[in-house]
Amino acid sequence: MRLLFLACLSPKTGNCTTAERIREHIESAGHICVLRDIVDFNSPADVESLVTGEPSFEGALAIHLHKGGRLLLGSKAPFGIIFGGTDLNEDVKDEKKRAVMEQVLKKARFAVAFSYKMKEEAEVFWLSQSSKIYIQPQGIETKAATSFSWRAFLKTSGVNVAGVEDLQVFLLVCGLRRVKDPLFLVEAFSEWHAEDPSVVLIIMGPKIDPVFTGEVEANVQRTRGVYLATERNQEELHAALKKCSALVNSSISEGMSAAILEAMHLGVPVVARDVPGNSAIIRHEDTGLLFATPQEFVSVSKRLLGDRPLLERIVRNGKRYVEKFHSLAEERIVYQNLVELLH
C-alpha cells in the first residue's frame, strides 16, 4: 500500500520522533509511507488533492485527531488516527474542536491511544467509538553518542563552572511552548543553586513558539543556575541524558513523554510534574519521582541526590518498566497489523 502520514514535524520534537518511528514500522512491512508535516496543508481539500493525485495514496494516517485528523475529513481514502496528548488534555475543552474530533474518530478505521488512561479519557466523550480504540504504548529504543561532557558543553556555552566539584545537572527536555511550562521551576531552582552551586538546570529543546521563547530567554538570562541549550539529535540527546543527574519534566499536560521513557531506558532517574500523562507511567518513589509544586521539586530532588538506595531503586525499576511495557518490536507488530485494516 501507498500511505500518507500526517503529523507535526517540528525537528527534534517528540511528535517528529514518534512519527518517524511509526513510519519505519510500516515501511518494514513492505508498504510505502510518505510522511508530511501538517503545516504544509491549509485545508482538507489540499490533502484530498494530494491523495488523489499521481501517484495516488490508498490510505492515510495522522497523529492528533484535531491537528492532523481534521485534514483527512475530505479524503475518500480510509485512514487511521493516533491520539496525541493535546487532543485529550487541551482540544476537548473547545466545543468546536471536540465536534471535529468526533467526526474524525467516527470516520477512522482505527485509533491508537498510548495508554489505558488515554483510552478512558476518550471514552468520556466518544464511548460509542470505544471498540476501534487500540492501546499501544510508545516503543522505545535508545542509542547514545560515544562521548559527552557537561563541563565541556557548559564551557563552550560561556558558563563558568570552574571550582565546582561534582556538578549535578538536571536536564529539562522540551520544545519551548507554554504547555511544557519550562519556567515553572526556574525561580525555585535558582534559589537552590544559590545554596548549592553544584546543581544546575539545563532547558534543552527547539524554539517552537517564538513569543514564548522570548519570555523564556529573558527569564533565564536574569536567573543564576539555569541555562538554555539548543536541541540535539537523538544520539547526542541520549548521551547528554546519560551524563545528567536526572531528567526533569514540568509540563502542564502530557500524552506520553518519549523523553521520560528514554531516560528510564538509559538508567537515568526521572523527576516529573504530577500530571495524568506522567503519573500513568511513573510510580512515585518506584519508577521515578513526582512533584506538584516547585518547592516539592527541590525537596524530592535533594532526596534523590542524597539517598543512594532510592536512586538505585528508581533506576532499576524504571529500566525494567520500559523494557516490559514499551517494546519496540511489539509496537512494530501492532502498527503493521493495524495498517491492514486500511485495505
Q: What mean pLDDT, rounded, does the chain reach?
A: 93
**What's the pLDDT at 163?**
66
pLDDT average, residue stretch 76-85:
94
Lowest-pLDDT choice from 81-85, 293-297, 309-313 = 81-85
Residue 231 binned pLDDT confidence (cut-offs 50, 70, 90): confident
CB-based contact 326:139 (threshold 8 Å): yes
Gyration radius of the chain over CA positions: 21
The tens digit of pLDDT for each residue in 66-79 reads 999 999 998 889 99
Q: How does pLDDT run across 253-295, given as a tens digit for each residue? A: 998 899 999 999 999 999 999 998 899 899 999 999 999 999 9
- Architecture per CATH, domain 150-325, reads as 3-Layer(aba) Sandwich (3.40)
Give pLDDT, residue 155.
80
pLDDT at 170: 98
pLDDT on residue 136: 95
pLDDT at 343: 87
Cα–Cα nearest to 170, from 333, 320, 300: 300
How many Å apart are CA 168 and CA 197, to the nearest integer?
9
- Residue keyed to cell 490508498: 58
- Summarize the confidence of residues 213-242 as an average pLDDT: 92
Task: Determine what percent of the chain is predicted with pLDDT higher than 90.
Answer: 80
What is the C-alpha end-to-end distance of the chain, expressed in Å? 8
Judge whether residue 333 has pLDDT over 90.
yes
**Residue 83: which pLDDT band, with cuts at 50, 70 and 90?**
very high
- Mind listing the pLDDT tens digit for each residue in 90-138? 899 999 999 999 999 999 999 999 999 899 999 999 999 999 999 999 9
Tell me which of 1.10.340.30, 3.40.50.150, 3.40.50.2000, 3.30.1360.70 is the CATH number of domain 2-139+327-342: 3.40.50.2000
* Residue 13 or 205, more confident: 205
2-139+327-342 and 150-325 have identical folds: yes
pLDDT > 90? residue 143 = no
Domain extents in the chain: 2-139+327-342, 150-325
| Interatomic CA distance for residues 68 and 41, integer angstroms | 10
Q: Residue 88: CB partners within 8 Å, gap ≥ 6?
A: 118, 121, 122, 255
Task: State how far the Cα of 277 lies from the Cα of 300, in Å rounded to an integer.
Answer: 19
Confidence of residue 10 (pLDDT cuts 50, 70, 90): confident
C-alpha to C-alpha distance for 205 and 232, rounded to whole angstroms:
8
